[in-house]
Amino acid sequence: MIGPGEVPRLPRGVRVQPDRVRGGWVLLAPERAVTLDAVGQAILAEVDGSRSFGEICARLAAAFGAPEAQIAEDAGGFLNALRERLFLEVSP
């Protein structure tokens, strides 16, 4: 699981862009295209390579008016799944 002080970032070769034909957003990675739902897109919009996971959760909690612990669990699960597929890197 990502720690609150760790900084997630998209590695080279992974990017998020609007899907101008189908609508919504898509994560593009080597030989993969993953359709993002609104929640996934909101989380990745906070991943800028400088914010820590703790900061990201605090910002999402404020934006969505949700408890930070709940956000941390949801966002952590989502980001960990991306990390396992090597679509996300985490630095201490």
Sole binder of another protein in the list 3, 5, 19, 49 (CB under 8 A): 19
Sole binder of another protein in the list 50, 65, 84, 91 (CB under 8 A): 84
Of the candidates 75, 4, 9, the residue with the CA atom closest to the CA atom of residue 42? 75
Across the strands, what pairs with 89?
Answer: 9
Chain centroid to Cα 85, Å, comes to: 13
CB of 74 to another protein, least distance (A): 20
Other beta carbons less than 10 A from residue 18's beta carbon = 11
CB of 26 to another protein, least distance (A): 6
28-67 residues near another protein, rule: CB under 8 A: 28, 30-33
